[in-house]
Amino acid sequence: MGCSPNNCDDDGNPMKWGTHHVNKQGRTHLHLLASSDEWAFTGYSSTLVPLSEYPNIDCEDNDGIRPLHLVCRKDEREVMALLNAGASPTKPTKEGVTPIHVAARFRKPNIIGLLLEVIEKQNGKAAVARHLNSSWRLGKARLSHGVPSALHFACCSGLPESVALLLEAGADPNLYIDRFLTPLYYCTKYEEEEKLWAEARRGDSSFRDPHEAPFRDPFGITLNDKARVIYRDEKLVSNLDEVLDLLVLHGVRTETGAHPFSGLDGAIIESEGQDYTTECLFKLKQRLEASTGKTNIGGEDDRALPPVEEYVESLMKGSRFEKLSLAYPLMSSIYRRSATKKAFLFAEKEKYESDDVLQLIKDHQWDLLRHMARHDPGFFGHNANGKSHFTELISSGLHKLVGEIVTKASFVEMEESQETTVQGVLSGKGGTEPGQYATAPACLMRACERRVPNMPMLRLLIEKMGADINAQNAVYAGTPEHRVWKKGSSALHELARGSSWWQYAQGLKYLIERGADLELRDTRGRTPLHRALGKMTTQPARILVEAGADVNAVADSGKTCLAYAGNNPEAIKLLVSHGAVVKAADLFQATWDPNKGGRINHEAFDAICAAVDPNTRLSKAELESLTLPWSDQRYLVDDDQIYPLYLATSRNPADAQVRYSSVDRPDITERFLPVIEGLVRNGADPFVTYQKRIKEDLKAESPSTTEVTLLHDILEEGALTEPILLMPNLLLERRDAKGRTPLLAACRSQIGPDTSMDAINPKYQFKPWRNAADLYNNKPSIVKFLVDKGACVTQTDNNGMNALHHILEARSEGGHDTLKLLLSICRA
């Protein structure tokens, strides 16, 4: 049709993006990936391009926005991928917006924590505070004031986890822009910001979907951009009360300064018409005055109504807050919130549903939640899913509220009741409802499951409530035919997974310091170290190993820690350096599943091969202790006869995960050819021998076997042989037990001797048909390749059969081209 993939639209976007192309907005293919769906840089994207292939990892568009800015709205794993590739964690846009600004605006405390950690590692702790408190100035489009700090944005978001991280890292709570705009003042913008997120959740926010217009809009990164993007709803719980308490704890100035709108009073006036914000600010003013003895109004009445209404009235009557007497809307805000509480109490139920609790949490009605906890007997009871109203508070990170509604004695009583249930089911004495497959997780584990930083809750439960850090639930596990109750995960297992930055950077270290058992086993016999391995980051595993975790622990499946480390060279080196013993099973595991269907990491694979002979086989004892995903009676080679090279060439495509469904050629070649190359590179012998059952004798009670040579066998099977054939010193005339050379074996190929040397047998793809593209291409056939390499075409086997005999006897499809080739050579 004459259409070129290099043609561009009006914005300069081509149909086919290259790594060097830049459109009219200055954005590259890397910007596109950074704006796309999750997992763009973590190996799961079909559009994945290795970061090493990009000429500039910190490429800027016309606004100075870099790919790191874009992924800071999404997930810390992608942030980590770019940081590991060399992206700068501090470089701002042309407006002065840094990656931490973006993470703060988009309510990503884990990304904030990760960025702070990297900046400190690169430049020292003092540099972190300097970075956070730098008054970034604008260039040509300079405003009359500096850019708000990341703390300003975090206060506006209302997320205490973000605010706490920034303040603890040295952010100045009194840093102001334009004479009086402090982080305290930015708290008054919370409800405006919340509306933007509500629009995004409803689908009303313009350009909110990165797939609709990835190059038309920076999606909330520029200073005045109101668009918000939700890549994953993490069920965040904002809490302006706690944000204000954190600011006060770190020394925020609440008194009115030179500017009339500075300080707490100015913030209260500015919050006009924002009911929740106004109430929070008045409550803070009340607490501060109560602490200095200026007011004796405190506590709450029997109906859980806080005295803020009374307090505000006293301010107005006493003219102690002069401007307030003119601010009728502020009083209206207080009365509206109070009216909501009264209406809820008036319609009091005997039993509250989970949705009631979630709605109250969403509406920040902490007083009513306290009231429910005191008056609803079922508040602490678990439902069929193992959840309760109380655990919803724990999962939401509401540590102050939890500390107010339970005492240590009542909490210990709950924990003991839970442990009694666990021990009851483990001993077979019951303790759960019929049909239930797990007991409720301990409260501490609920706290550890939270994706958002939850350290205050962990400290509360362990240090003040006496939670058992080694508590485990019970799970009804096993095969459908045989299920038994087993001990499940612990809090340490959950944190070791490292799904979020805080879980390993904060929570894991904390539990280890408190004496958590590093060797607890879950339902599958896995220790926390097993759970930590195989992740994108090795940090959780490093923390556990350096704390003394057993690097040679074996799970119930027989998999070792090295097997769980899989394709991660850093993790393998970590384990080996701390005493991990590399076993044959580890090599077989790495051969079978190098990276859960992804590309092999040569460094990791070589590290395993360096410690284990690639020509080893699994012993009877090892076979009995392992769960073999490749084991199948359909195969003619028994498990104790298999070598890693045979497994890579003949068994891998029949992965149990894709069995009985067709597999495309790239899925096989990209995954398994590098494994074969790795084995050959590390000394795997293509001429090892093993016993193979005779197909015609399979129905006999004791089928007969015959000795076969690996290369000859897989040539006849039509397996993956190209990396072996390319070996520089391959013995072309090496004979098997039947006297056949590799060329004679290739003439018997099940897929035909004319097929290309990189052809794939359809049976390995589970395709009932022959796809010509999988069998024939511009590469020579195996027979022609061997002939060109110098193989003798006149050799005969033990029965006196030559190449022509084998082509004709094999009865495989094709062979005409090979026959012509051999005849032409013989005539010559």
* Tens of pLDDT, residues 335-355: 677 777 776 666 666 566 777
Percentage of the chain lying above the pLDDT 90 cut: 44
DSSP category for residue 188: G
Helix, strand, coil % (nearest 5) of the chain? Answer: 45, 5, 50
| Residue 34 confidence (pLDDT) | 86
Please check whether residues 170 and 286 belong to one and the same domain: no
Please check whether residues 240 and 110 belong to one and the same domain: yes
Where on the phi/psi map is residue 175: left (φ > 0), alpha (ψ -120 to 50), or beta? Answer: beta
Query: Which is nearest to 448 in space by CA: 386, 382, 527, 504?
Result: 504
Half-sphere exposure at residue 414, Cβ-oriented, CA atoms within 13 angstroms: 23
Please check whether residues 400 and 478 belong to one and the same domain: yes
Please check whether residues 247 and 265 belong to one and the same domain: no
Q: Is the pLDDT of residue 137 over 80?
A: no
Q: Which of 234, 253, 272 is the last residue of a domain?
A: 253
pLDDT band at 484 (very low <50, low <70, confident <90, very high): confident
pLDDT band at 189 (very low <50, low <70, confident <90, very high): very high
Strands 705-709 and 472-479: unpaired
Strands 689-693 and 482-490: unpaired
> Which residues are CB-contacts of 822 (< 8 A; sequence separation ≥ 6)?
783, 787, 793, 803, 804, 807
Mind listing the pLDDT tens digit for each residue in 389-416? 999 999 999 999 999 999 999 999 988 8
Mind listing the pLDDT tens digit for each residue in 490-509? 999 999 999 899 999 999 99
Q: What is the mean pLDDT of residues 429-436?
A: 62
| Residue 788 confidence (pLDDT) | 94
Q: Which of 281, 315, 344 is the last residue of a domain?
A: 344
pLDDT band at 447 (very low <50, low <70, confident <90, very high): very high
Q: Is the pLDDT of residue 437 over 90?
A: no
Domain of 110 in residue numbering reads as 29-253
| Residue 38 confidence (pLDDT) | 56
> Which residues are CB-contacts of 170 (< 8 A; sequence separation ≥ 6)?
125, 128, 129, 132, 133
Does some domain include residue 458?
Answer: yes
Main-chain phi, psi angles of 571, to 5 degrees: -65, -40
Q: What is the mean pLDDT of residues 76-87?
A: 91
Q: How many whole angstroms separate alpha carbon 46 and alpha carbon 314?
A: 64
Q: Whose structure tokens read 């992206």?
A: 87
Judge whether 500 and 110 are in contact, CB under 8 Å.
yes
Please check whether residues 331 and 412 belong to one and the same domain: no
Task: Give SS3 for 176.
Answer: coil
| Residue 268 confidence (pLDDT) | 85
Judge whether 71 and 79 are in contact, CB under 8 Å.
yes
Q: Is the pLDDT of residue 643 over 90?
A: yes
Percentage of the chain lying above the pLDDT 70 cut: 79
Q: Is the pLDDT of residue 425 over 60?
A: yes
| Residue 350 confidence (pLDDT) | 59
| Residue 403 confidence (pLDDT) | 96
Q: Is the pLDDT of residue 722 over 60?
A: yes
- Determine which of 332-341, 706-715, 763-772 has the lowest per-residue pLDDT on average: 763-772
- Determine which of 3-7, 194-198, 230-234, 377-381 has the lowest per-residue pLDDT on average: 3-7
Q: Quickly list DSSP for 750-813.
A: TT-TTSBTT---HHHHT-SS--HHHH-SSSPBHHHHHHHHT--TT---TT---HHHHHHHH--S
- Determine which of 28-42, 370-384, 699-713 has the lowest per-residue pLDDT on average: 28-42
Mind listing the pLDDT tens digit for each residue in 165-180? 999 999 999 998 877 7
Q: What is the mean pLDDT of residues 588-601?
A: 66
Please check whether residues 240 and 331 belong to one and the same domain: no
Strands 472-479 and 482-490: antiparallel
Q: How many whole angstroms separate alpha carbon 774 and alpha carbon 762?
A: 8
pLDDT band at 303 (very low <50, low <70, confident <90, very high): very low
Does some domain include residue 1?
Answer: no
Q: Whose structure tokens read 């098997």?
A: 736
Query: What residues form DSSP beta bridges with 477?
Result: 484
E strands, 626-769, in order:
689-693, 705-709
Does some domain include residue 444?
Answer: yes
Please check whether residues 412 and 309 belong to one and the same domain: no
Q: What is the mean pLDDT of residues 427-435?
A: 65
CATH number at residue 737: 1.25.40.20
Task: Kindly state the tokens that stand for 441.
Answer: 């997780």
Query: Which is nearest to 747 in space by CA: 789, 796, 807?
Result: 807
Q: Is the pLDDT of residue 695 over 80?
A: no
Does some domain include residue 329?
Answer: yes
pLDDT band at 628 (very low <50, low <70, confident <90, very high): low
Task: Give SS3 for 195.
Answer: helix
Does some domain include residue 680?
Answer: no
pLDDT band at 317 (very low <50, low <70, confident <90, very high): low
Does some domain include residue 582?
Answer: no
Q: What is the mean pLDDT of residues 58-65?
A: 93
Please check whether residues 129 and 80 belong to one and the same domain: yes
| Residue 693 confidence (pLDDT) | 87
| Residue 468 confidence (pLDDT) | 95
Please check whether residues 211 and 267 belong to one and the same domain: no
Q: Which of 344, 363, 397 is the last residue of a domain?
A: 344
Of the ranges 18-32, 145-159, 203-217, 333-347, the best mean pLDDT one: 145-159
Judge whether 345 and 304 are in contact, CB under 8 Å.
yes
Judge whether 644 and 587 are in contact, CB under 8 Å.
yes
Q: Quickly list DSSP for 345-387.
A: HHT--SS--HHHHHHHHHTT-HHHHHHHHHH-GGGG---TTS-
Q: Is the pLDDT of residue 217 over 60?
A: no
CA angle 90, 93, 98 (to 5 degrees): 35
Query: What residues form DSSP beta bridges with 690?
Result: 708
Judge whether 387 and 396 are in contact, CB under 8 Å.
no
Of the ranges 257-261, 583-587, 741-745, 767-771, the best mean pLDDT one: 741-745
Q: How many whole angstroms separate alpha carbon 14 and alpha carbon 516?
A: 55
Does some domain include residue 575?
Answer: no
Report the domain count for the chain.
4
Mind listing the pLDDT tens digit for each residue in 112-127? 999 999 999 999 999 9
Task: Kindly state the tokens that stand for 116.
Answer: 């702070």
Q: Whose structure tokens read 């021998």?
A: 689
365 vs 478, which has greater pLDDT?
365
Q: How many whole angstroms separate alpha carbon 148 and alpha carbon 184?
A: 12
Give the torsion through C-alpha atoms of 153, 158, 162, 165, to 10 deg: 100
Task: Give SS3 for 812.
Answer: coil
CA angle 784, 788, 790 (to 5 degrees): 120
Half-sphere exposure at residue 629, Cβ-oriented, CA atoms within 13 angstroms: 19
Please check whether residues 68 and 132 belong to one and the same domain: yes
Q: What is the mean pLDDT of residues 522-537?
A: 91
| Residue 44 confidence (pLDDT) | 43
User: Average pLDDT of the chain?
Assistant: 82
| Residue 258 confidence (pLDDT) | 67
Please check whether residues 229 and 334 belong to one and the same domain: no
Q: What is the mean pLDDT of residues 658-663?
A: 50
Of the ranges 41-45, 385-389, 406-410, the best mean pLDDT one: 406-410
Please check whether residues 789 and 754 belong to one and the same domain: yes
| Residue 206 confidence (pLDDT) | 46
284 vs 426, which has greater pLDDT?
284
Does some domain include residue 378?
Answer: yes
